[in-house]
């Protein structure tokens, strides 16, 4: 079924037999007339408005007047596969709301250079914009034009905030997510006024989700003249919303109510439609948003955070695809290959049957012309021990190019074999064209926790520069079987510290260096891919130190940006290490069926509260992807106050160390712009793209928390930064030049 163009009024058509028991004093005809008049709500007597939702029959859509001007609460119920009535979207008497305003936005051509239509700005996740209204000469004239509070869309205030808005010129609106509920918001771009809100109701599946306030972004597509917003909820549903009203699109999905239960399609895992999967089966949710490519909604998924897992069984985080117009399921890509599928033999001893995870929690990228979508993945269950999953374990820690029409694998490359270091791929792959030895190549580049850039021809999967398969240290953990080799790119060089030696330790003073040496004496240190160790008090072993670690290198909040005009990659990174402590599984959890597990990624502190290693602590590196050579690097901001004013460093010139946080970059035709990230100072910087020279600083109300975006609305360029951190709850802060400047 194809959708007709959006009606001129914001009230879409729906079935009025959804009122089997009309409110006393108001017949169905009264309610029908009310719905046909968008001004009627203001005249509807408050005392006679329905105070609660009527009880509809399964499968019926219910809309009823709310107690605020010009809105509608709504509730959709259906009978689940088990025969239970399942609350899918909305809720009785106000759990879910869609604030409806009259549709005044004319249809516009969705091709303008001022758009930011996906998490990464475009299908290739470049985080680049051709806009040039803001430049070196006026950057410091930027001023905050509006702030949109995103903190209170959940049971607790959000101080993480990992959602980047999109801006679609055709709709004339910003769309974003907020809070642990992943409330979808449409925002007026010039003023920050909320246009509409939508969210799923409270439900057991939401409560079980371990990635409630992630989401990162929403998807967008035009279907037969109507703009549609696609959102993945923490409880693992896909919703299609009308971009102008926020209402679920009728006729979309198997029930026709605008909602798809993804648990029904993820694989052969028993579940209850209301409560979801039993914990013994596993966990499944989403972290990144959907991406629409050539009329296909591609849905990533991810499971429980791997460093907390105590069971070897989990749900495989398969990739799903649906028709953007109808919601029809098109294909499922098994991220753990099944018997007869390519890669199944990389799971030895039948471990493919019970291992889960391998989730794609980073955003997706795509090349619509090639018809390829690029998925990046993480390790199988568990992040730090894999004795129960022998083999390289495809498609873990891989870039996988999938034909968006068929769901077939086009090519793949596994960046880490049999991962036990939590080296999941944290950032969307980025697409650009480069020129190498005179040949123009369609490229895909991947920045990573281990601080390598992996670069390929995005059409064929051929590396841009050779990889060397080098021997790596082997494990002495009972039952563990590591890969004897790992792939090392020959270009570009690593952009952050890899491995840890005594030469890397803090040396601001001899005393601090000696204390640092004492600290590491109880840890195993070594090169990149230093294997985990079992905690052993008798031998004085606490753990192995992994550098980079779970939060090191390039990670979730900011990542990298590429300039397609020059072929230069700008990578944000931090020098961070982990020290996960392997313990017998039953010591971590008496019910565990794993030989070894951890209580988390583990950290290792330095002397007197200072970092264990030398600076810089955070940086941005510019790499020419035409040559594979580093051009320059700069610290991420200044030296933290906690280091600059530390009593042990009185009189010591520590230089500019950079913040211990992930910078949040974007690039335009004129500037590299970045925030210092959570843990950094509340400011943004403008940098010369060619030299790294700092050109300006603008203060913000709080620290940036994830990737920013820029857009042009009615002739004015805006910069929008998600802001959150310790002591500062979530908000969007939008800046622009003074009007008329």
* Average pLDDT value for the chain: 86
The percent of residues above 70 in pLDDT, for the chain, comes to 85
Cis before 548? omega within 30: yes
Pairwise pLDDT comparison (452 vs 202), residue with the higher score? 452
| Average pLDDT of span 498-516 | 98
Domain positions in the chain: 16-98, 128-731
pLDDT band at 43 (very low <50, low <70, confident <90, very high): very low
SS3 328: coil
pLDDT of residue 306: 64
Reported as a pLDDT band with limits 50, 70 and 90, residue 227 is very high
Half-sphere exposure of residue 26: CA atoms within 13 angstroms, side-chain side: 18
Superfamily of domain 128-731: Quinoprotein alcohol dehydrogenase-like superfamily (2.140.10.10)
Q: Please give the average per-residue pLDDT across 19-25, as a whole number.
A: 31
Residues 6+ apart with CB under 8 A from 518: none
What is the number of residues in the chain?
741
Render the burial of 85-105: b for 16+ CB within 10 Å, e for the rest. ebbbbbbbebbbbbbbbebeb
Q: In the predicted model, what is the mean pLDDT of residues 113-132?
A: 97
- Average pLDDT, integer, range 498-520: 98
Name 99's Cβ contacts closer than 8 Å, sequence gap at least 6: 68, 70, 71, 194, 195, 196, 197, 246
Tell whether the model's pLDDT for residue 10 goes beyond 50. Answer: no
Instruction: Report the SS3 class of residue 300.
Output: coil
Asked whether the beta carbons of 77 and 55 are under 8 A apart, the reply is no
Chain centre distance of CA 439: 34
What is the pLDDT, as a whole number, of residue 41?
27
pLDDT digits (tens, 9 = 90+) for 621-665: 999 999 999 999 999 999 999 999 999 999 999 999 999 999 999
Residues 6+ apart with CB under 8 A from 176: 150, 163, 164, 165, 166, 184, 185, 187, 217, 218, 732
Structure tokens at 660: 């211990």
Sole residue written with tokens 């909040």 = 557
Identify each DSSP E strand in 326-397 by its residue range.
329-333, 365-367, 372-376
Query: CB pairs under 8 A, 24+ apart, for 267-275?
Result: 267/315, 267/316, 267/318, 267/332, 267/334, 269/315, 272/80, 272/82, 272/84, 273/80, 273/81, 273/82, 273/84, 273/86, 274/80, 274/84, 274/86, 274/87, 274/203, 274/204, 274/205, 275/204, 275/205, 275/208
What's the CA angle centered on 190, arms 194 and 97, to 5 degrees?
10
Model confidence, pTM:
0.86
Residues 599-614 as b/e (b if ≥16 CB within 10 A, e otherwise) read: eebbebebbeebbbbb
Q: Nearest CA to 22 among 34, 13, 11, 12?
A: 34
Which long-range contacts link 104-108 to residues 24+ away (Cβ below 8 Å)?
105/170, 105/171, 105/172, 105/173, 105/244, 107/170, 107/225, 108/169, 108/170, 108/172
> What average pLDDT does this structure show over 361-384?
96
């Amino acid at each position: 079924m194809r959708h007709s163009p959006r009606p001129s009024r914001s009230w879409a058509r729906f079935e009025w037999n959804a009122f089997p028991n009309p409110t006393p004093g108001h017949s169905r005809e009264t309610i029908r007339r009310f719905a046909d008049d968008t001004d009627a709500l203001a005249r509807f007597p408050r005392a006679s408005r329905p105070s609660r939702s009527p009880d509809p029959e399964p499968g019926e859509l219910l809309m009823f007047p709310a107690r605020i001007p010009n809105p509608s609460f709504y509730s959709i119920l259906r009978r689940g596969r088990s025969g239970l009535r399942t609350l899918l979207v909305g809720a009785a008497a106000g759990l879910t709301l869609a604030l409806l305003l009259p549709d005044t936005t004319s249809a516009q051509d969705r091709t303008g250079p001022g758009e930011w239509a996906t998490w990464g700005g475009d299908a290739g996740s470049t985080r680049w914009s051709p806009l040039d209204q803001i430049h070196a000469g006026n950057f410091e004239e930027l001023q905050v034009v509006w702030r949109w509070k995103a903190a209170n869309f959940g049971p607790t205030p959000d101080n993480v905030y990992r959602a980047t808005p999109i801006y679609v010129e055709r709709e004339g609106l910003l769309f974003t997510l907020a809070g642990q509920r992943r409330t979808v918001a449409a925002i007026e771009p010039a003023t920050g006024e909320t246009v509409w809100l939508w969210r799923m109701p409270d439900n057991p599946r939401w409560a079980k989700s371990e990635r409630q306030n992630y989401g990162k972004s929403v998807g967008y597509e035009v279907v037969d003249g109507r703009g549609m917003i696609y959102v993945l909820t923490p409880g693992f549903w896909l919703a299609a919303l009308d971009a102008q009203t926020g209402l679920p699109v009728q006729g979309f999905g198997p029930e026709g109510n605008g909602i798809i239960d993804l648990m029904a399609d993820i694989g052969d895992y028993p579940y209850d439609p209301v409560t979801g999967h039993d914990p013994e089966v596993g966990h499944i949710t989403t972290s990144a948003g959907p991406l629409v490519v050539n009329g296909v909604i591609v849905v990533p998924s991810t499971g429980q955070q791997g460093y907390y897992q105590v069971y070897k069984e989990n749900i495989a985080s398969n990739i799903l695809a649906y028709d953007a117009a109808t919601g029809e399921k098109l294909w499922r890509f098994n991220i753990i290959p099944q018997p007869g599928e390519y890669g199944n033999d990389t799971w030895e001893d039948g471990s493919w049957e019970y291992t889960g995870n391998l989730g794609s929690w980073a955003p997706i990228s795509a090349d619509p012309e090639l018809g390829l979508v690029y998925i990046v993945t993480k390790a199988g269950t568990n992040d730090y021990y894999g004795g129960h999953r022998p083999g390289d374990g495809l498609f873990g820690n891989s870039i996988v190019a999938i034909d968006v029409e068929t769901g077939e694998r086009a090519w793949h490359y596994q960046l880490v074999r049999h991962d036990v270091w939590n080296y999941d791929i944290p950032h969307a792959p980025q697409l650009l064209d480069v020129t190498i030895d005179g040949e123009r190549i369609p490229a895909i580049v991947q920045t990573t926790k281990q601080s390598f850039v992996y670069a390929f021809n995005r059409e064929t999967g051929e590396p841009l520069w050779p990889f060397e398969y080098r021997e790596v240290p082997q494990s002495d953990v009972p039952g563990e079987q590591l890969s004897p080799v790992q792939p090392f790119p020959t270009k570009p060089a690593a952009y952050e510290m890899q491995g840890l030696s005594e030469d890397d330790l803090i040396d601001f003073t001899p005393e601090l260096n000696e204390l640092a040496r004492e600290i590491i004496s109880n840890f195993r240190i070594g090169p990149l891919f230093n294997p985990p160790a079992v905690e052993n008090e008798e031998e004085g072993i606490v753990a192995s130190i992994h550098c980079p670690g779970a939060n090191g290198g390039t990670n979730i909040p900011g990542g990298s940006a590429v300039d397609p005009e020059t072929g230069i990659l700008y990578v944000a990174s931090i020098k961070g290490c982990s020290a996960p402590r392997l313990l017998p599984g039953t010591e971590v959890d008496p019910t565990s069926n794993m030989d070894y597990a951890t209580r988390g990624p583990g950290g290792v502190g330095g002397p007197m509260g200072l970092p264990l290693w030398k600076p810089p602590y955070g940086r941005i590196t510019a790499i020419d992807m035409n040559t594979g050579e580093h051009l320059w690097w700069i610290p991420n901001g200044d030296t933290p106050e906690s280091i600059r004013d530390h009593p042990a460093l009185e009189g010591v010139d520590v230089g500019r160390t950079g913040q211990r946080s992930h910078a949040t970059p974007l690039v335009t035709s004129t500037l590299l712009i970045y925030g210092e990230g959570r843990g950094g100072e509340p400011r943004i910087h403008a940098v010369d793209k060619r030299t790294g020279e700092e050109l300006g600083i603008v203060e913000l109300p709080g620290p940036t928390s994830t990737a920013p975006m820029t857009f042009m609305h009615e002739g004015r360029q805006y910069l929008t930064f998600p802001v959150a951190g310790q002591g500062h709850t979530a908000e969007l802060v939008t800046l622009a030049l003074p009007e008329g400047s």
